[in-house]
Structure 1
Amino acid sequence: MGSLATENCTMEEHLEVEDNRRAERSRWVLNPPEPPGLWRELMGSIKETVFPHGNKFSSFKKQTGSKHFLSVLNGLFPILRWGRNYKAEKFKSDLMAGLTLASLSIPQSIGYASLAKLDPQYGLYTSVVPPLIYALMGSSREIAIGPVAVVSMLLSSMIQKIEDPVADPIAYRKLVFTSTFFAGMFQAAFGLFRLGFLVDFFSHAAIVGFMAGAAIIIGLQQLKGLLGITHFTNKTDVVSVIKVVWRSVHHPWNAHNFLLGCSFLIFILVTRFVGRRNKKLFWLPAIAPLISVILSTLIVYLTRADKHGVNIVKHIKRGLNPSSVHQLQLKGPHVGEAAKIGLISAAVALTEAIAVGRSFASIKGYHLDGNKEMVAMGFMNIAGSLTSCYVATGSFSRTAVNFSAGCQTVVSNIVMAITVLISLELLTRLLYFTPIAILASIILSALPGLINISEAYNIWKVDKLDFLACMGAFFGVMFASVEIGLLIAVTISFAKIILNAIRPGMEVLGKVQGTDIFCDINLYPMVVKTPGVLIVRVNSASLCFANANFVRERIIGWVTEEEGENAKGRTQVVILDMSNLINIDTSGILALEELHKELVSSGMELAIANPRWQVIHRLKLAKFVDKIGGERVYLTVGEAVDACPGPKMLNLEVLVT
């Protein structure tokens, strides 16, 4: 009897020590560092984006003035870091890649300018300044910068609703430059303030559908150049375009344009097929568009086909990028529209560029910082808007060519830009007789890469709601407009987010015997529920106005079920595992207060485990911690369970036995 009493005393002392340690760890949870304010978070985001990785701001403050400046420069211009170790062997690879890239970029840039309803030289201008700025500030080694088909069509489809590019080309051009300026500002802001998540509202599924729909619309619009149609619709929906094409078939149209364009389209597609079958001939599909331009221009010049109805480019302005600072319309009636167009263009351009950059970076085995890419894209488009360029971004087709050509760094972009610059200075007169049909065929040849049927099928298999967003974007672009298509896709994506937020996943947890691990009782039937304790985990990042009442009602429902199932042992404590919650608003706190009142009125208690510092900070400010008692806040679920009266007495009995 004496030894038994001694053992009881020893066990009670042991439990008391454990209680003291548990109380101390609870104080850790209740007294975390104060979370940073909004201004500190914003400034921290800018510092992380501007300063190089590993250069903490605390050490930055200890540096001298010159080192301050160099550190900022290294953060903004990655070329200063890797450029020190740049060798001649890399330059040889970059030189060949840049020249190959230029051979594809020159004809594509001219074609995309026509797609944007601009004169041909503006496409070439966009292949000069933005790639040079990106080479200084960007971190992708393979991405090829310049105009792309989707953004070109996006700009023309929205801006021509405000200004007619035929009736008033100067006003239209000014609005293009202004929209480009706003696009650059938005992109830079996204990167500096780490707001890249805004671009993610254009989900992968939405982009797949949008790209496919845009590719079909772009292809139909190229029938104007391919058939030599003079009067064409400004609308972008498929019904309007097909009506115009159908009417033109019943009226005289020039077969020479069609024959010339289709011949070279077949030539480009055949070279692409050959290049895919034989990787050593990667250069053949890359230079095929330039060969097509040279040969077709020569044919038209020698045969004087322009006198027989073949439409040609005619005059391309010679010279370097002229300044367009005075053409920006930052005041006036269309500033709001220009900002809206800039925002949409910025988001679409960033989505395409970052997707392209990351896909090739993963092949090469390095990480691409999305926020720094946004800053680089933003500054290059701001600079472009001041030098007669429109929105530029990363092109998938040209990036693939750059990668296949063996580029080592972004110096290939510099080589490409210089080559285009020389062409602007010396070769524009030679392009006078270039047929419009060839530009249409070059654009058409690039479109199959935008239609990804296999990816759409994968989306259908994996997530039906994602597929709905994909099809919403596709049919919206096809039968309404580009903006409507994007709006439908974003709306469906938002609806999906709201649906998940309103009804978050919730789990009742049980303990894996012999461990301190707590798992979902439905997912792991072998786990054991603790008598008298209901452990609930909310699988949501936020407890807010959208889901707070649902969470409260679900917990009360489980408590009621427990009461009905356990006639002997009723629930005494509800433990709320907050490990997944990173935010809580006033509605969430109010729901917890109501839950606490209902439990107390039924003779139960509420405890919380593992709250994040932002959450516990707000719970303390709202005095919720005072209401449930600081001793009811625990570091882990295991400690919360051990602190409950039932399990504690059970543990004591086991130890005594």
Structure 2
Amino acid sequence: MGNADDYMYPSSMNSNGGESGSHRVAIPPPQPFLISLKNTVKETLFPDDPLRQFKDQPPRRKLILGLQYFFPILEWGPRYSFDFFKSDLISGITIASLAIPQGISYAKLANLPPILGLYSSFVPPLIYALMGSSRDLAVGTVAVASLLTASMLGNEVNAAENPTLYLHLAFTATFFAGVFQAALGIVRLGFIVDFLSHATIVGFMAGAATVVCLQQLKGMLGLDHFTHETDVVSVMRSVFSQTHQWRWESAVLGCCFLFYLLLARFFSKKKPKLFWISAMAPLTSVILGSLLVYLTHAEKHGVQVIGHLKKGLNPPSIMDLEFGSPHLTLAIKTGIVTGVIALAEGIAVGRSFAMFKNYHIDGNKEMIAIGTMNIIGSFTYCYLTTGPFSRSAVNFNAGCKTAVSNIVMAIAVMLTLLFLTPLFHYTPIVVLAAIIIAAMLGLIDYEAAIHLWQIDKFDFFVCISAYVGVVFGSVEIGLVIAVTLSVLRVLLFIARPRTLVLGNIPDTKLYRSVDHYPNARNVPGVLILEIDAPIYFANSSYLRERIARWIDEEEDRLKSCGESNLQYVILNMSAVGNIDTSGIEMLQEVKKKLDRTGLKLVLANPGAEVMKKINKAKFVEEIGPEWIFLTVGDAVEACSFMLHTYKPKPETDGSGKWSNSV
């Protein structure tokens, strides 16, 4: 609607008691309801105005722009060069070396056949390369979504006892996750993901990483039976109740490879140019572990191996979707929860690397791209994918230029599926467990938690609550706790907005908080209050009572100091972006009470939307247009003039004092 400064306000008074024409203004012009609603919806759902590029364009150009909007590769593809390809080729091969062992590991984490990890690293990256707007995002499976899939589906369907139904429900959950993600992007509701605050994500990811690491104790210790629960108590009980089944061979082998992976990461962090050491470490571990098992026949001595992996590309799975299953509600719930988490991670990672390279990605377009690749993935034997941080960081450090690196990775995975899957027969499960643990330890960002503690204790509390909820409850409980606390904080900001007493900075016309600026001086006979939020039904009662307390406190202060009585209350409304009918009623009640006690209400700098509504409610006439000012300085000048022109009001007895019940 525009800023307050764009409109003219009722005048302030000059030193001669007249009106200063330079401040004289009019009420914002009325606007039809449908136009106002259209503008509000447009600003909410289309703040970036994606259709502006289509204006005044011929039909052929509009078609081209439309295709480029949904398929960004058509925009940058014609400018693609051989130099870009050399960089993308190196990046693609590098992330493929990470994607293959990670894909197998994360599929096992989701209680799915290991081959699905390779399938999910073939088709989805190709779709994203066509539709994604990030140059650096490397698509694949992620540990947290895999854990969520296993946890939520495993509550009703046992993957070991009914593997076919479990597999089909995983495809169905992936389909609904994709539909939900794409729908959010199409209807421009990407801001929903923003309810997952930074503190929430830090705590949730750390908790999920801890749970994932604990789950890998099954592989590290070579256990055949393990709890399906994810909380730390159940996991520890399961581990220590089977001490007689621990296999030292598996534990020693796992610890050795875990040490190797962590050492590789340490060297890569110390010298970023050696990033390839950490990137190649998982594949190297798989190769060395497989050779070791093959040469020593360790599978006969308690070291579990992957076993047979089917050769060939992704088979179709569209007919395997369980739309008529009694577990359909479970699949939908799993899809929505995992879809939101995958979106939050993928978009956050994409934006982070885009910031480093100084380019922009459209969050809604990313949702459509990620959703589409998951829908198609559910038709082609894939489960949920997004842009994991670890793989994208390797892609970024390897010098990728465009999304072609995803295509190169997909081709490398395709060759693996066609020719190399038999080589993974002897890959030890314990090596996959070590790979997962090493990746998850990087998600426990204790430095971010310390930073939250130093900056904002409530954010730290949200972070720790999410962590504790995940570790001692479940992944779903931790997520619900964290989101609930974040939303509660937003509601508290709305329901209990700040109100400040302003004073004059000496030798200036500036008015600032007396708590923030100790040298700010009170204006004799005038109380200046600032409301720091929109006024709605949720906070109107609180603000009415808070204003009453400020007035009581100010009158007590004046009496104790022997100063002149309070006569004017100025409300600085520059931060009040909007007001509803409850807020207008609150202002009317405040004015009536002030009138009864001989005080005068003055408004300073109400915004255009506020002015429009209080004018329609006839409150401008009630308060008097001459008592609405453009700035606090104008209001104080007018009040001071009146104080010097007319005698102060007489002392009032106790009955004239404000109370908190208005």
The alignment's TM-score, normalised by the length of structure 2, stands at 0.87
Question: Displacement of 1:100 after TM fit?
Answer: 0.5
Q: Does 1:79 align with 2:73?
A: yes
Taking structure 1 as reference, are residues 559 and 64 closer, same or farther at Cα in structure 2, changes over 3 Å only? same
What residue number does 1:589 align with? 584
> 5 Å matches for 1:126-275?
126-251=120-245, 253-275=246-268
Q: Which residue of the partner structure matches residue 655 of structure 2?
A: none
1:284 counterpart residue number:
277
1:494-573 map, 5 Å: 494-513=487-506, 515-540=508-533, 542-566=534-558, 569-573=564-568
1:219-618 alignment to 2 at 5 Å?
219-251=213-245, 253-513=246-506, 515-540=508-533, 542-566=534-558, 569-618=564-613
Deviation at 1:109, TM superposition (A): 0.4
1:331: Cα distance to partner? 4.9
Aligned CA distance change for structure 1 residues 645 and 478 (closer, same or farther; 3 Å): closer
Change (3 A) 1:615 1:387: farther
Query: 2:38 and 2:417 mapped to 1: Cα distance?
Result: 47
**Partners of 2:45 and 2:189 within 8 A in 1:** no
Deviations 1:534-577 (A, max 9, x none): 3221112x322332212111212222333344466444433322
Secondary structure of the corresponding residue to residue 393 of structure 1: coil
SS in 1 for 2:111: coil
Separation of aligned partners in 1, 2:270 and 2:23:
67
User: Which string of whole-angstrom CA distances, capped at 9 and with x for unpartnered residues, describes residues 305-324 of structure 1?
Assistant: 33444322123233323333
1:655 alignment counterpart: none
| Conserved 8 A contact 2:46-2:188 | no
- Give the Å deviation of 1:105: 0.5
- Helix, strand or coil at the partner of 1:232: coil
For structure 2, which runs of at least 5 residues remain unmatched after alignment?
A: 1-11, 647-662
Q: Distance in 1 between matches of 2:441 and 2:342?
A: 19
Q: In the superposition, relative to structure 1, how do residues 422 and 37 fare at CA in structure 2: closer, same or farther (>3 Å)?
A: farther
- 1:83–1:573: structure 2 CA closer, same or farther, 3 Å change rule? farther
Structure 1 range deviating more: 397-406 or 334-343: 334-343
Aligned residues of 2:28 and 2:612 also touching (Cα < 8 A) = no
43, 53, 56: which one pairs with 2:52?
56
User: What amino acid maps onto 1:426 in structure 2?
Assistant: F
Aligned to 2:23: 22
The residue that corresponds to 2:6 in the other structure is: none
Once the 2 structures are TM-superposed, how far is the Cα of residue 34 of structure 1 from its aligned partner? 6.6
Q: Do 1:49 and 1:192's aligned partners in 2 also have CA atoms closer than 8 Å?
A: no
Residues in 2 aligned to 1:381 and 1:614: alpha-carbon distance in whole angstroms:
43
Q: Alpha-carbon deviation of 1:470?
A: 1.6
Which deviations, in whole Å up to 9, do the C-alpha atoms of 1:384-417 show, x marking residues without a partner?
2333222212212112211221112222112112
1:236 shift after superposition = 0.5
Deviations 1:127-164 (A, max 9, x none): 12322222223232222211111111011111111222
% identical aligned pairs: 49
State the 1:92 CA deviation.
0.3
Contact 2:233 2:472 in 1 (8 A): yes
1:3 corresponds to = none
- Contact 2:499–2:532 (Cα < 8 Å) also in 1: yes
Aligned partner letter, 2:363: G
Give the AA of the match of 2:469: G
Aligned to 2:656: none
Say whether the 8 Å CA contact 2:14–2:20 is kept in structure 1. Answer: no
User: 1:77 Cα deviation (Å)?
Assistant: 2.8
| Cα distance change, pair 333–532 in 1 and its aligned pair in 2 (3 A) | farther
State whether residues 30 and 633 of structure 1, in contact with CA within 8 Å, keep that contact through their aligned partners in structure 2: no
CA distance in 2, matches of 1:136, 1:243: 47
Question: Per-residue deviation at 1:649?
Answer: 7.5
Match of 2:659 in 1: none
For residue 120 of structure 1, what is the aligned residue in structure 2? 114
Q: Which moved more, 1:530-539 or 1:288-297?
A: 530-539
The TM-score, its normalising length taken from structure 1, stands at: 0.88
Counterparts of 1:560 and 1:325, CA distance in 2: 70
Distance 1:166 1:395 in 2: 28
> SS of the counterpart of 1:508?
strand
Deviations 1:261-300 (A, max 9, x none): 3332233223223333444432122112112212322333
Q: CA deviation at 1:444?
A: 1.5
Letter in 1 for 2:287: I
Unaligned stretches of 5+ residues in structure 1: 1-10, 653-657
User: Secondary structure at 2:241's aligned position in 1?
Assistant: helix
Q: Deviations over 1:470-505 (max 9, x none)?
A: 221112111111111112222332333333333221
- Aligned equivalents of 1:234, 1:127: Cα separation in 2: 26
Match of residue 89 from structure 2: 95
Which of 103, 106, 114 does residue 100 from structure 2 map onto?
A: 106
RMSD (Å) for aligned C-alpha atoms: 2.9
The one of 68, 76, 86 aligned to 2:62: 68
